[in-house]
Structure 1
Amino acid sequence: MTKAIPLMFQGTNSDVGKSVIVTAFCRIFAQDGHKTAPFKSQNMSLNSYITIDGKEIGRAQGVQAEAAGIQATTDMNPILLKPNREYQSQVVVHGKPYLNMEAGAYRSDFFQMGLKLIKGSLSVLSEKFERIVIEGAGSPAEINLNDRELVNMRVARMANAPVILIGDIDKGGVFASLVGTLQLMEPEDRDRVIGVIINKFRGDIRLLESGLTWFEEYTGKPVLGVIPYLDHLNIDAEDSLILNQYSSNPNREKDLDIAVIQYPKISNFTDVDPFFAEPDCHVRFVTRADQLHNPDLMILPGSKNTIEDLLFLRKSGLAQKITELQTKAVIFGICGGYQMLGEKIADPFAIESMNPELEGLQLLPIRTTITKDKRTELSNGTLTLFDKRFDVTGYEIHMGETESIGENLGLIDLYGQWDGCKTTEEKVIGTYFHGIFHNDEFRKEFLNQLRGAKGLEPIEERESFTQLREEAFDRLASHVRKHVNVPLIEQKMLEFQKNNG
């Protein structure tokens, strides 16, 4: 079907590292001179990426496109599912909201439309690129779902793609999960698997060698690589599963303590990624009031359901604790977090809940109304803070309009319109700009202001986060090349196309 040569990565389960390995191969193929695109037919994630034309796709595919050195388009992720209530998700089709659907209705009613969308996007990518690196989701062995799945072996068949199966040894039982997954596949799908990769290995590879030999003899599938765990990789996380890896406790060895409020519908938490790369910052995610302690900076990140997450803040005691700390810490709200900081949030169309109006944290003089239309666009403007001005870029994804109900202390001048709000003392700050801390000059000054408030000397030189990301892509590609037999994969890809073209 395709003019491009495809390669698909599937996993024995979620969180085995598919997104990171796809990112690595996007970079590897691009380095080797192939015009390469990522593809994931259906992504479920609350971390979004805005394309240059203002459309919304899964953040992983946007990052993979960056690794390949190309502009992301909605054909790289034509279907995005964003959970907003229990058993319900917003279905985003080619970057725009389509419907809110229950899981059962999506499975029964959306299937044929989904097939058409996926085929169309694969066709477009196959005409424009030389390589397509495809990411699956969950596991192809979920036999209760396989009759109407839209993201694993059915996509491999559409694209006529060979498949590499990934297992996560860090979770334990990697040989059982790999063998079990292969055995539960239909024979024609099993034949499509050209080998396996074992990911997140820690320890002495010699202790694994007998198991690798047994696996290859038992299954007839080659082990194409064993990838050691790679720490401190400055590449955006795919979903909130990664948040379980982070501590909720302060680290007294770091100068600045940054507490990120982790509510149930947290979204686009990658906004805080630049702080992980700063040597004086400790970032932690908190879910309870007793975990908050006395941070220097509290961040209320985005939310897919602002009202439900605001109710969570009240029920957990976090709302009261945040309010108590408003004179001691800087409080920074982004998107949904910005809306929560206001006086009230109205939901007249019951988009997020059955509460027509809810009192906010009352820390900023703003009022928000949840709207039916979603704003998705790349934005830029001039931010004013600390009596200084900064040119900033970011992106907006929100269903809500916010108006000032007090003195207008706007944060960002959008060349005639204002975004965001701040208090006179600049202790409480809010904006719709995702990616605000990715602006290097603003981030440097912001952190130095936090340092000054503690009597610490400023740090005059901080690394560019954009440059760190580029270095991370190269580091990841080099790591995978070292531990995976890329030439053998190339050979098997070409053989598969020759035998199945």
Structure 2
Amino acid sequence: MASIMFQGTASNVGKSVLCTGICRVLYEDGYSVIPFKSQNMSLDTYFDKNGKAMGIGQALQAEACGLEPMAYMNPILLKPCGNHVSEVLLLGNLVSKMSSEDYREYKHSLVFELERIYEEVKNGFDIVVLEGAGSPAEININSLDLSNMEMAKISESPVILIADIDRGGVFASIVGTLQLLNQEDRKRVKGVIINKFRGNKDYFSDGIKMLEEIISIPVVGVVPFIDINLEEEDGACGIKNNVVAKSSIEKEKEFEKLSRHLRENLDFKKIYEIIFEDEKLTK
């Protein structure tokens, strides 16, 4: 069993969609793949065949892997209720409503739960594709960041950092994120993806070289902006999620379109090396 985790320099950098596409590529390449997001915050909810709640992103990723979506792929789900209060769900079941202060105390008890759940989830699969949430560099609140580096430690996963060039300041966001990580966490980051690129990539090559010299981490791809009709959670583009209404045929076409796009723009040889730590286990 191997694993890879994708974290972002910020929210809405495209982690969910990229993870969906990467799940699909690995699945097409003959690997048994399962998605996993330890903690998600979302108002939009998917209910698995047992009626358990999970994030829509992980439901899409499961389908991209040819799997039935199950709540254990997103064991912790937070549903905001307003006034700094959220419903806390574990394995799709409501624990209680908690204030942010109460949850900061409660989540220490969730480390053991995540260790137990992940140990069960990973069995029987070649690769686990983990997705982080927000940024791993929120230094004022991440003494125990269940969404990002704490989960990377639990799963012993290498990390690829995703940054969104469309919002501007991409070099500063990458360098700044890495600088704010502690030394142990920074060592986990083995690659960088620059997402939502617009324009001629040839003109960007010098910037990539300079960035790699600064961070000493390879850029494993620059992914051009693409219109994929797989809605992100909470309607990040201003459109409510309609994943349930899509036919399986429509989703398959979008998965295939996304897979082709990523194969053209990501260095999957390098990504496989990161996943398998150069053990030459690729098929």
CA contact (8 A) 1:169 1:198 kept: yes
Match of 1:150 in 2: 146
- Unpaired runs of at least 5, structure 1: 247-268, 274-434, 439-464
Match of 1:34 in 2: 31
C-alpha distance in structure 2 between counterparts of 1:90 and 1:238, whole Å? 17
Separation (CA, whole Å) in 2 of partners of 1:166 and 1:497: 24
Count of matched residue pairs = 280
Cα drift, residue 241 of structure 1 = 2.9
Residue 468 (structure 1) aligned to one of 237, 247, 250: 250
Aligned to 2:265: 483
One-letter code of the match for 1:484? L
Q: Equivalents in 2 of 1:113, 1:172: separation in Å?
A: 38
| Residue 163 of structure 1, aligned match among 156, 159, 165 | 159
Task: Tell me how far 1:99 sits from its aligned partner.
Answer: 0.4
What 5-or-longer segments of structure 2 have no aligned partner? none
Tell me whether 1:235 sits opposite 2:206 in the alignment.
no
Once the two structures are superposed, the pairs formed by residues 67-466 of structure 1 within 5 Å of their partners are 67-108=64-105, 110-231=106-227, 233-243=228-238, 269-271=240-242, 435=244, 437-438=245-246, 465-466=247-248
Contact 2:11 2:135 in 1 (8 A): yes
What's the secondary structure of 2:54's corresponding residue? strand
Cα distance in 1 for residues equivalent to 2:272 and 2:160 = 12
* AA matched with 1:485: D
Instruction: Give the whole-Å Cα distance in 2 for the aligned partners of 1:204 and 1:166.
Output: 20
CA contact (8 A) 1:65 1:71 kept: yes
Distance 1:241 1:74 in 2: 22
**Which structure carries more relative contact order (alpha carbon 8 Å, separation 6+)?**
2
Of the two, which has the highest radius of gyration?
A: 1
Q: Distance in 2 between matches of 1:194 and 1:149?
A: 19
Give, in whole Å, the separation in 1 of the partners of 2:43 and 2:72: 19
- 2:52 counterpart of 1:52: no
Letter in 2 for 1:68: C
What displacement does 1:487 show? 1.0
The TM-score normalised by the length of structure 1 is: 0.54
CA contact (8 A) 1:76 1:121 kept: no
The structural deviation recorded for 1:242 is 1.9
Q: TM-score, normalised by structure 2?
A: 0.95
Dislocated runs of 4+, deviation >3 Å: none
Higher strand fraction: Structure 1 or Structure 2? Answer: 1
* Offset at residue 211 of structure 1 (A): 0.8
Which deviations, in whole Å up to 9, do the C-alpha atoms of 1:141-199 show, x marking residues without a partner? 11111212111011101100000000000000000000010111111111111110000
Aligned pair in 2 of structure 1 residues 240, 104: CA closer, same or farther (>3 Å)? farther
Q: Which has the higher helix share?
A: 2
Cα offset, 1:71, TM superposition: 1.1
Report the 3-state secondary structure (helix = DSSP H, G, I; strand = E; otherwise coil) of the residue aligned with 2:277: helix
